[in-house]
Amino acid sequence: MDRCRNNVGDWPVRKINAHTTRRDFSYFVQKDIAMAGEAGCGFMLWDGKSKGTLHNMMNLVGAGKKVLVYFALDKRIHKLSNDQDLQTLLARCDRREIARIRSSLATLPNRSQSQLELHTQ
């Protein structure tokens, strides 16, 4: 049985079946999309490099949900309410990292949940 990776509050858990048995990025993306769909808002801890965390932020903001992000690079919490807020946060990141993440996310088979553009200018 799958165990929840980060459930320090012992919150109720619902199993999401992924269409793969490999525990790779695609596996977690499927679960994260379901979580973003059900969540009312999000709270992320982000190092400016994790594509999974950024993908979650994109899904939530794209669905019109608010996200609080503890951004490790400046040790501050940022409130994301829309695409402009996300772009403002991305402007604080290394442009090469954002380009790498954008390239990686472009290979996802179902991009319907990831329609926000990642600007690297």
Name 99's Cβ contacts closer than 8 Å, sequence gap at least 6.
120
> Model's pTM, two decimal places?
0.79
For the chain, the structural domain boundaries read 25-105
Dump pLDDT digits (tens) for 42-61: 999 999 999 999 999 999 99
pLDDT given at position 118:
56
Dump pLDDT digits (tens) for 36-45: 889 999 999 9
C-alpha dihedral sign at 64, 109, 32, 97: negative
- Can you tell me the distance from the alpha carbon of 108 to that of 80, in angstroms, rounded to the nearest whole number? 23
- Can you tell me the distance from the alpha carbon of 114 to that of 108, in angstroms, rounded to the nearest whole number? 9
Q: Which residue from 84, 92, 95 is spatially nearest to 117, judged by alpha carbons?
A: 84
